[in-house]
Amino acid sequence: MKIIFKGQPLSTQTIYRSVCRGKFATVYMTPKGKAMKEYYQLEAKTQYKKEVSSEPLEMEINIFFKSKHKHDIDNFNKLILDSLQGIVYEDDNQIETIKIHKEICKDNPRVEINL
């Protein structure tokens, strides 16, 4: 089963911000991050027609960037995994193995998730 999210993925640094309120820092999702998560969830619901799994999972994520700019792939998986929760699996702690690949595709940046 494959799920595809079209467009340039956002890094964790773009999605989340922190602000200090008193002695404690609070982390929040940016409006751009919220919009991307909603888009990912809509696409996942549209493409994934199976029941929500409660079993251990393995997945492969292929991230296609539009440029060779420096991309640390560990900064891109959080939003992807969070977006699939409740649609593909109950909780992302069910994921036992993830293979992540990065590639360049100038004309069609996207994320492909193979389940």
Cβ partners under 8 Å of residue 46, min gap 6: none
The total domain count for the chain is: 1
Report the predicted TM-score, pTM, of the whole model to 2 decimal places.
0.89
Which alpha helices (DSSP H) does 9-113 contain, by range? Answer: 12-15, 31-47, 77-84
pLDDT of residue 102: 95
List the domain range (segments joined by +) for residue 69: 2-114
Give CA 31 to chain center in angstroms: 16
Region 41-61: mean pLDDT is 97
Is residue 13's pLDDT more than 90? no
CATH number of the CATH domain containing 35: 3.30.1330.70
